[in-house]
């Protein structure tokens, strides 16, 4: 069965376009996003699926599933515009949220974003022993975690997975701000909030005395462009 990356590559090739040609028609400055999607190293978001489909002159459904009557296996995750079209036994819907803070990090509210939910294949969720009730998707803002995460990417976090494991990426609140950072434990019970793009965004060391002020919202268990 053809995955979406191969379908993008095939449709692009049919038109005689390079990756740069398609990226330009999508309004993107470089072809890196197209290359990542075609190689299968990243999964396209709903917005990017719509953008690519329009550039290719097809519908989002055709880009996702091809021309077959029955949906094909496109891999681990699908961004889909009409939840009613999906087989509830085959897919798990994960809502996108905005994270709202009040009273510093003391109180949070998960506000459903106006964008449509992500549809993950049930077997993907089960294979990772994730509970759909604990999963929330959210957008990445800024470039502090590049190249691992790009501005505008979507991450899915497991809000029950809050125990810090060195080198894992978490959504956290510290000093009245929320971040997506790679966390490391430091001697004595402190933490290091690490930015992969550390040249532009220095690490944030947290002393043992301040560590109790860090609130971990959940671990990143999936990312997509």
Q: What's residue 2's pLDDT?
A: 52
* Domain membership flag for residue 54: yes
- Confidence class of residue 60 from pLDDT cuts 50, 70 and 90? confident
Considering the domain architecture, whether residues 110 and 26 belong to the same structural domain is answered as no
Answer yes or no: do 130 and 209 share one domain.
yes
| Residue 82 forms part of a structural domain | no
Instruction: Tell me what the mean pLDDT of segment 172-191 comes to.
Output: 91
CATH number of the structural domain spanning residue 19: 1.10.260.40
Phi, psi (5° rounding) for residue 36?
-65, -40
Q: Is residue 79 part of a domain?
A: no
The residue-averaged pLDDT of 210-217 equals 90
Domain end call among 47, 73, 99: 73
Q: Between residues 149 and 71, which one has the greater pLDDT? A: 149
Same domain flag for 104 and 204: yes
What per-residue string of b and e applies to 172-181 under the rule 16 or more CB within 10 Å gives b?
bbbeeebbbb
Contact 96, 112 (CB under 8 A): yes
Same domain for 166 and 96: yes
Portion of the chain with pLDDT greater than 90, in percent: 34
pLDDT in tens, 127-163: 889 999 999 988 888 899 988 888 888 899 999 999 9
The pLDDT value given to residue 73: 31
- Looking at per-residue pLDDT, the higher value among 60 and 81 belongs to 60
| Bigger pLDDT: 85 vs 211 | 211
Indicate whether 128 and 214 sit together in one domain.
yes
Using the CB atoms, write b or e for 120-131: b if 16+ within 10 Å. bbeeebeeeebe
Asked if the structure places residue 29 within a domain, the reply is yes
At residue 89, the pLDDT reads: 57
The answer to whether residue 188 scores a pLDDT higher than 90 is yes
Domain of residue 67 covers 4-73
The yes-or-no verdict on residue 25 having pLDDT over 50 is yes
- Total length of the chain: 225
Q: How would residue 28 be classed by pLDDT, with cut points 50, 70 and 90? A: very high
pLDDT at position 138 is: 87
The answer on 152 and 69 residing in a single domain is no
Q: What is the per-residue pLDDT for 72?
A: 33
Q: What is the pLDDT of residue 151?
A: 85
Residues 63 and 126 grouped into a single domain: no
- Parallel, antiparallel, or unpaired: how do β-strands 169-174 and 190-194 relate? unpaired
Q: What is the mean pLDDT of residues 63-72?
A: 54
- Determine the pLDDT at residue 92: 85
Look at the chain and report how many structural domains it folds into.
2
73, 101, 131 — which closes off a domain?
73
On whether residue 130 sits in a domain, the answer given is yes
Give percent of the chain with pLDDT exceeding 70: 83
Instruction: Kindly state whether residue 85 falls inside one of the protein's structural domains.
Output: no
DSSP result, 130-173? --GGGEEEEE--SSTTTTTS-TT-EEEEETT--S--TT-EEEEE
Average pLDDT, the chain: 82
Question: Of the candidates 73, 103, 132, which is a domain's last residue?
Answer: 73
pLDDT tens sequence across 74-121: 334 444 444 454 455 578 888 888 877 555 565 667 777 766 678 888
């Amino acid at each position: 069965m053809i995955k979406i990356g191969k379908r993008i590559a095939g449709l692009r090739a049919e038109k005689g376009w390079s990756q740069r040609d398609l990226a330009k028609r999508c309004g993107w400055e470089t072809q890196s996003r197209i290359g990542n999607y075609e190689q299968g190293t990243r999964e396209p978001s709903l917005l990017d699926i719509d953008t690519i489909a329009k550039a290719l002159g097809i519908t989002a459904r055709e880009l996702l599933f091809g021309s077959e009557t029955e949906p094909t296996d496109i891999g681990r995750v699908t961004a889909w515009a009409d939840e009613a079209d999906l087989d509830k036994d085959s897919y798990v819907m994960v809502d996108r949220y905005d994270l709202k803070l009040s009273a510093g990090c003391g109180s949070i509210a998960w506000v459903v974003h106006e964008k449509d939910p992500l549809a993950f294949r049930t077997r993907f969720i089960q294979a990772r022993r994730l509970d759909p009730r604990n999963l929330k998707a959210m957008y990445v803002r800024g470039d502090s975690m590049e190249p691992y995460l790009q501005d505008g990417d979507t991450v899915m976090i497991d809000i029950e997975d809050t125990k810090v494991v060195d080198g894992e990426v978490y959504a956290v609140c510290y000093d009245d701000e929320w971040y997506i950072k790679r966390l490391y434990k430091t001697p004595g019970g402190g933490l290091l909030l690490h930015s992969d793009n550390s040249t532009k965004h220095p690490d944030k060391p947290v002393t043992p005395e301040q560590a109790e002020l860090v609130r971990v919202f959940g671990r990143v268990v999936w990312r997509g462009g």
